[in-house]
Amino acid sequence: MKAVAVGGGHGTAVSLRALRRVCDDVTGVVSVADDGGSSGRLRAMLDVAAVGDLRKCLGALADPQNPLTQSFEHRFSVGELNGHTVGNLLLVGLIDATGNLEESVRAVAQVMGVKGTIVPASCEGVVLVATTEEGDRRGQTEVMRSSTIRRIRLEPANPAAPIVAVEAIERADLVLIGPGSLFTSVLAACVVPGITQALSGTRARKVYVANLRPQVPETEGFTLQDHVDALERHGVAPDVVLVDQRSLYATQPCSLEVHAADLSGRNGLVHDVQKLAEAVVAEVR
């Protein structure tokens, strides 16, 4: 089975770990719109794409015994390096040296023994812009602080999507959309025009994995239908929604087919990798 996970951050990393347990061919299509934390500082300093979400997703598919994998998430705590991770520094160093985002990610994946493919959603860094009731909010950090988001878009307006990402979605049997912050992770990847078109044209089963709880304030007060409406408003039309059976979304009405399953970890704060893998298998039977 060929499977693709689309989004960013911790949510897509969890999806990739789950898919790797049940699929031989796994691709992660990852947002590069982040502008906070270490990624944001490096982006401002070197004018490169945000690499934090790429780092997390590379780690999800990497060989756990590889020495680089074991140190990839190490975060410095002194001097000018304070807050930066080994992975972020390696990625931005390669990008700065080569000028090629895709090649840099491929090089790191090869060294780390990544089983699968990690590819940025766009060929260049992008800035996330949201239309809200208070006016436009620019940059992922500012967007995630708003509770009245209506639409999001990217600057530049028509960033190219890597051919590898488009082809992976087009030939996939299954596409997982999310979990993750609806606007600042999931849609930040999906609204790249080439990715939107590929999602629209693929014959894959498209499964939206809902968050376990609202993202405050980004989706505070959102119903499950509000999430689906936001996706569809941006040209993303899932076939089915997968929700945790204990979440508030499990009992809410929705215009799409909803499958509830035991998906959360012991603390109830994150999706459990094995449980999500089992739910994925059920979706393609």
Q: Which CATH number characterizes residue 176's domain?
A: 3.40.50.10680
Other Cβ atoms within 10 Å of 270 Cβ, number:
15
DSSP 60-103: HHS-TTSHHHHHTT-B--SGGGTT-BHHHHHHHHHHHHH--HHH
Tell me, what DSSP letter sits at residue 271? B
- Please give the order of strands across the beta sheet that includes 240-244: 117-120, 25-30, 2-7, 174-177, 205-209, 240-244, 257-261
User: Can you tell me the mean pLDDT for 146-169?
Assistant: 95
Q: What is the pLDDT of residue 42?
A: 82
pTM over 0.75: yes
User: Can you tell me the mean pLDDT for 33-48?
Assistant: 81
Residue 203: give the domain boundaries.
Answer: 2-283
Q: What is the pLDDT of residue 285?
A: 73
Which residue's structure tokens are 């209506």?
150
Instruction: Say if residue 101's pLDDT is above 90.
Output: yes
Q: What is the pLDDT of residue 49?
A: 87
Residues paired with residue 29 on neighbouring β-strands, in sequence order: 6, 119
> What share of the chain has pLDDT > 90, as a percent?
82
Count the domains in the chain: 1
Instruction: Say if residue 257's pLDDT is above 80.
Output: yes
pLDDT single digits (tens) 188-211: 999 999 999 999 999 999 999 999
